[in-house]
């Protein structure tokens, strides 16, 4: 079974087997990230004539070369060649200016061990020790180069950062064992599925895989797709920057070798969406969105029209945020892809599926979240599932908790669950006594109180973190648009007047603007991250879509999330949530009484009903009946709904938007 703390690229044999087994056991038992390689990862140009040596890499340790051949001269040449190649990689990615040439660090950061003269494991433990924090940081940068986990050296820099915000922003990122295997191991299946929580690096891994395919398959056609238009646009802009950063020399051939589009598309623009492009390539009838045509149905009909024998147009397709897509879309992509289809999704954004077990048995399961403080992730999970409330919305069985990265402890008779998460490299060496989540309830007029609270919170953050910039903060408003948009408008005026910052209303601009405060509704935050997130929600409701949005929003931060709610509208549950949050912040654990069998049955039944698929028309008709929309208004209202809600309908959204628009229609005719 693979382990995220250990990665082995070097070939195991009878000479090194004992040593490698000891190193792997050490990595797992001590939760220490260790890589064992025989050549730099990510570039096939580097090969060596000395096959009997391994290089052991671990953050904060010396790079250790261990020989099992007994041929000292050949081994010494291997070490010299390897270090020379490492210097070349350092120069390629502009690390040399920060860490210097090998002569400045080789004597202090390189260890060599001759296994025929000394017991290699004990020697490695002792000889690789490195205590100087400045030297540790340079060693960690060298590990990042050799594992292909390239950091922006202008961002992380080689010197030690002082402030908490700078320490987190400049933290050196390294792929763990699971992530490294996804990038470098040859796929075993036609479809490779990656499942991971928000912040586990799925999109970053897809970008690295995209770069690998684009460079090593010169004539291939590759499609990168996701459901959300905003995320697709963000990715399309990010890919050239990423390729430049990774020193891809070949120019991007957009719309002939590489496409980056969202799922559906527009009839007038063949390259505007994956489904639209497939229809154009194979001369299929394009089915636009309508009350009677869901995306799932459109993809199913396209599959039928294609038939069995299809000449694949694309060589590879990469799908991000796969939980937003119907299975018919995945099948359609598989049909038109010649080689591997890579599918990445968030298991927790599908947490309200009737049965998530099939979704947590992918080829690569990423359970460790490297963006978000583990305490923030725990709170987001707990509030998303209603764990702090008397009536829970979701419960997982023990294997499912483990798959989501939790360590499960149970009191006597299983009457009490204690859920904790492993410490992560991003936070373990950063002394952070800042609460990971701040829950604030405000009274009175919510629009005014929330706006004042946001400005006050930003002022406080600026005092605590002098290097704070406007785009270090993201404000996401979860309420329906008739309440979210006025608050965004109010903030654009108030923030500029009180703080001197420009405000980017991303639900209007559809992008992230450097140097401006990001303000948006819930529909424009996927794929984004901020040091600080302020989540605004007037009332914590029990809708499944709302709770998933709450989870997704809270996990956009990598230092702290703040949640602002109405004191009056949430008084029944606020004390339960506050108590649960206090325990998470203080002790790093969720402590919860599990539901009994009867409650579990009720939860499962509720989820099954909620997961049943209704067409847009059926959902709208159901909402109209609940609201009491008169028949003569229904056709006009459903046309308006289609324009406002678009391709991502859900029952909560349709119900709330219908009520708002119907009230406006009645008033306009009064």
- Model pLDDT for residues 56-84, shown as the tens digit of each residue: 999 889 999 999 998 999 999 999 999 99
For 144-281, where are the E strands, in sequence order?
Answer: 191-196, 222-226, 258-262
295, 327, 345 - which closes a domain? 345
Domain assignment present for residue 150? The answer is yes
pLDDT in tens, 382-441: 998 899 998 888 888 887 787 777 889 998 777 889 999 876 544 455 555 678 899 999
SS (H, E, C) 560-626: EEEEEEECCCCCCCHHHHHHHHHHHHHHCCEEECCCCHHHHHHHHHHHHHHHCCCCHHHHHHHHHHH
Q: Name the residue with higher pLDDT: 229 or 158.
A: 229
Q: Are residues 20 and 122 in the same domain?
A: yes
Q: Which residues contact 115 (CB under 8 A, 6 or more apart)?
A: 15, 16, 19, 66, 67, 68
Q: CB–CB of 429/422 below 8 Å?
A: no
Domain assignment present for residue 579? The answer is yes
Domain assignment present for residue 536? The answer is yes
Dihedral angle sign, alpha carbons of residues 111, 115, 117, 120: positive
Report if pTM > 0.75. Answer: no
Domain assignment present for residue 364? The answer is no
Relative orientation angle of helices 295-306 and 274-281, to the nearest 10 degrees: 20
Residue 618 tokens, joined: 């059926």
Q: Which residues pair with 277 in a beta bridge?
A: none
Relative orientation angle of helices 651-669 and 616-627, to the nearest 10 degrees: 50
Q: What value does the mean pLDDT take over residues 495-510?
A: 90
Angle at 144 between CA 139 and CA 149, to 5 degrees: 170
Amino acid 315: pLDDT: 95
- Strands lying side by side in the sheet with 222-226: 258-262, 222-226, 316-319, 341-345, 191-196, 364-366
Residue 524 tokens, joined: 């424009």
Q: Is the pLDDT of residue 502 over 80?
A: yes
The pLDDT-based confidence of 609 (bands split at 50, 70, 90) is: very low
Q: Is the pLDDT of residue 245 over 90?
A: no
Q: Are residues 654 and 551 in the same domain?
A: no
Domain assignment present for residue 217? The answer is yes
Q: Are residues 387 and 431 in the same domain?
A: yes
Q: Which residues of 21-34 are buried (b: 16+ CB within 10 A; e: fewer)?
A: ebbbebbeeeebbb
Q: Are residues 536 and 624 in the same domain?
A: no
Q: Which residues contact 416 (CB under 8 A, 6 or more apart)?
A: 410, 591, 592, 593, 594
Residue 652, CA distances (Å) to 394, 473, 620, 621 in order: 18, 28, 10, 13
Amino acid 610: pLDDT: 44
Q: Are residues 640 and 589 in the same domain?
A: no
Amino acid 255: pLDDT: 93
Instruction: Give the whole-number percent of the chain exceeding pLDDT 90.
Output: 42
567, 598, 629 - which closes a domain? 598
Q: Are residues 429 and 552 in the same domain?
A: yes
Of 188, 179, 211, nearest to 318 (Cα)? Answer: 211
Q: Which residues pair with 224 in a beta bridge?
A: 260, 318
Q: Are residues 627 and 572 in the same domain?
A: no
Amino acid 180: pLDDT: 85
Average pLDDT, the chain: 84
Q: Is the pLDDT of residue 644 over 70?
A: no
CATH number of the domain to which 431 belongs: 3.40.50.300
Q: Are residues 304 and 203 in the same domain?
A: yes
- CA separation for the pair 551, 554 (Å, rounded): 5
| Count of C-beta atoms within a 10 Å radius of residue 479 | 22
137, 160, 183 - which closes a domain? 160
Dihedral angle sign, alpha carbons of residues 483, 485, 487, 490: negative
Q: Is the pLDDT of residue 633 over 70?
A: yes
Residue 209 tokens, joined: 């895989």
Amino acid 432: pLDDT: 55
Q: Are residues 589 and 618 in the same domain?
A: no
Domain assignment present for residue 559? The answer is yes
Residue 42, Ramachandran bin (φ over 0: left; ψ between -120 and 50: alpha; else beta): left
Q: Give the chain's domain count.
A: 4
Q: Are residues 421 and 325 in the same domain?
A: no
Query: Using CB atoms within 10 A of its CB, is residue 296 exposed (0-12), middle (13-18) or buried (19+)?
Result: middle
Query: Using CB atoms within 10 A of its CB, is residue 84 exposed (0-12), middle (13-18) or buried (19+)?
Result: exposed
Q: Are residues 221 and 136 in the same domain?
A: no
pLDDT in tens, 294-351: 889 999 999 999 998 899 999 999 999 888 888 899 999 999 999 999 998 876 665 5
Domain that holds residue 449: 374-598
Amino acid 347: pLDDT: 64
Q: Which residues contact 618 (CB under 8 A, 6 or more apart)?
A: none
pLDDT in tens, 7-59: 999 988 999 999 999 999 999 898 899 999 999 987 777 889 998 999 999 98
Q: Are residues 27 and 88 in the same domain?
A: yes
Domain assignment present for residue 633? The answer is yes
Of 641, 612, 609, 611, nearest to 624 (Cα)? Answer: 641
Most confident of 282-291, 352-361, 481-490, 569-578: 569-578
Q: CB–CB of 7/35 below 8 Å?
A: yes
Amino acid 334: pLDDT: 95
| Count of C-beta atoms within a 10 Å radius of residue 194 | 27
Domain assignment present for residue 187? The answer is no
Amino acid 611: pLDDT: 45
């Amino acid at each position: 079974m693979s382990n995220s703390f250990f990665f082995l690229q070097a070939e195991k044999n009878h000479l090194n087997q004992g040593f490698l087994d000891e190193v792997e056991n050490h990595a797992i038992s001590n939760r220490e990230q260790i890589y064992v390689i025989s050549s730099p990862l990510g570039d096939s140009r580097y090969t060596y004539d000395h096959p009997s040596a391994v290089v052991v890499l671990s953050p904060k340790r010396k790079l250790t070369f261990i020989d099992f051949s007994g041929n000292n001269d050949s081994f010494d040449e291997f070490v010299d060649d390897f270090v020379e190649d490492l210097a070349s990689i350092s120069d390629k990615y502009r690390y040399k200016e920060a860490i210097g040439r090998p002569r400045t660090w080789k004597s202090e950061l390189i260890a060599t061990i001759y296994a025929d003269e000394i017991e290699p494991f004990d020697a490695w433990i002792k000889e690789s020790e490195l205590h100087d924090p400045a030297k540790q940081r340079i060693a960690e940068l060298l590990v990042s180069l050799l594992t292909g986990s390239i950091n922006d050296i202008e961002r992380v820099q080689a010197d030690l950062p002082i402030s908490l915000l700078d320490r987190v922003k400049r933290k050196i990122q390294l792929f763990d064992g699971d992530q490294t295997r996804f990038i470098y191991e040859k796929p075993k299946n036609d479809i490779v599925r990656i499942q991971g929580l928000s912040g586990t690096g799925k999109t970053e891994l897809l970008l690295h895989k995209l770069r690998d395919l684009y460079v090593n398959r010169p004539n291939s056609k590759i499609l990168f797709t996701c459901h959300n238009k905003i995320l697709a646009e963000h990715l399309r802009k990010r890919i050239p920057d990423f390729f430049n950063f990774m020193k891809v020399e070949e120019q991007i051939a957009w719309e002939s070798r590489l496409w980056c589009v969202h799922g559906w598309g527009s009839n007038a623009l063949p390259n505007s969406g994956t489904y639209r492009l497939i229809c154009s390539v194979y001369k299929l009838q394009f089915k636009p969105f309508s009350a009677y045509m869901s995306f799932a149905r459109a993809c199913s009909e396209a599959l039928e029209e294609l038939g069995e024998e299809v000449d694949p147009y694309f060589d590879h397709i990469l799908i991000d945020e796969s939980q937003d897509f119907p299975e018919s879309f995945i099948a359609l992509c598989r049909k038109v892809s010649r080689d591997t289809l890579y599918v990445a999704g968030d298991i927790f954004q599908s947490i309200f599926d009737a049965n998530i077990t099939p979704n947590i048995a992918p080829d690569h399961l990423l359970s460790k979240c490297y963006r978000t403080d583990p305490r923030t992730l725990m709170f987001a999970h707990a509030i998303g599932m209603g764990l702090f409330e008397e009536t829970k919305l979701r419960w997982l069985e023990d294997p499912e908790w483990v798959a989501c990265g939790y360590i499960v402890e149970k009191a006597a008779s299983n009457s009490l669950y204690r859920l904790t998460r492993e410490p992560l490299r991003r936070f373990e060496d950063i002394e952070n006594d800042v609460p990971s989540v701040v829950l604030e309830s405000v009274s009175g007029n919510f629009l005014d109180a929330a706006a004042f609270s946001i400005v006050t919170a930003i002022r406080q953050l600026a005092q605590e973190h002098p290097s704070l910039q406007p785009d270090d903060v993201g404000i996401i408003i979860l309420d329906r648009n008739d309440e979210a948009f006025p608050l965004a408008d109010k903030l654009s005026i108030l923030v500029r007047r009180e703080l001197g910052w420009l405000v980017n209303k991303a639900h209007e601009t559809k992008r992230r603007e450097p140097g401006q405060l990001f303000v948006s509704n819930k529909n424009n935050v996927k794929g984004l991250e901020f040091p600080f997130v302020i989540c605004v929600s007037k009332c914590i409701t029990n809708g499944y879509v709302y709770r998933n949005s709450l989870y997704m929003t809270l996990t956009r931060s990598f230092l702290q999330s703040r949640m602002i709610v109405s004191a009056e509208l949430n008084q029944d549950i606020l004390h339960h949530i506050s108590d649960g949050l206090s325990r998470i912040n203080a002790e790093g654990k969720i402590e919860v009484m599990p539901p009994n069998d009867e409650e579990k049955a009720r939860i499962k039944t509720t989820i099954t009903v909620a997961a049943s698929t209704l067409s847009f028309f059926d959902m709208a008709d159901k909402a109209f009946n609940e609201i009491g929309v008169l028949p003569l208004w229904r056709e006009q209202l459903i046309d308006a709904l289609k324009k406002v809600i678009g391709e991502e309908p859900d029952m909560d959204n349709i119900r709330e938007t219908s009520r708002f628009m119907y009230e406006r229609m009645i008033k306009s005719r009064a």
